[in-house]
Amino acid sequence: MDAWVIWLIVAVVLAVGEIATTSFFLAPFAGGAAAAALLAAAGAGTTVEAAAFLVVSLILLAALRPVARTHRLSKAVKTGTAALVGQSAIVMERISNDEGVGCIKLDGEIWTARAFDDEMVIEPGTKVHVLEIRGATALVSE
């Protein structure tokens, strides 16, 4: 069997292994094997093929591994109401849990609001923090 076919088989096996593991560890070596296959098809010697495999694999590993690590460690993006928790808002209508009234302007929208502490009354114009979202109601505190 020709050397380029062996290198190509190695590249495919490593690529399939990468797809199965999704760790960005085998992909650089698959790239190195593909480079060695190209050199073997062009008639390069075994030493040149092996050197190309090592050099290309190490360069790709050095380039892709930090990207993979950053991607793996990145936090999930919060969406929906979870993204609103922790934000600041402005009281538009007096918040009084006893009276069942209160509205805030949160992220450009008007939300029904209740004080997190039932005894608290918050006047319009006050800056509050959203502690929780229950349904369509924001629970806030100063």
pLDDT tens digits for 60-81?
A: 999 988 887 787 776 677 777 7
Would you state the CATH architecture of domain 80-141?
Answer: Beta Barrel (2.40)
- Sorted by where each begins, the domain ranges of the chain are 3-73, 80-141
Q: Are 122 and 140 in contact, with CB atoms under 8 Å apart?
A: yes
Residue type, 54: L
For 10-48, write each residue's pLDDT tens digit: 999 999 998 998 777 889 999 999 999 999 999 888 999
From residue 44, alpha-carbon distances to 13, 53, 54 in Å are: 22, 12, 15
Query: CB-hemisphere CA count at 13 Å for 57?
Result: 19
Residue 82 DSSP one-character state: G
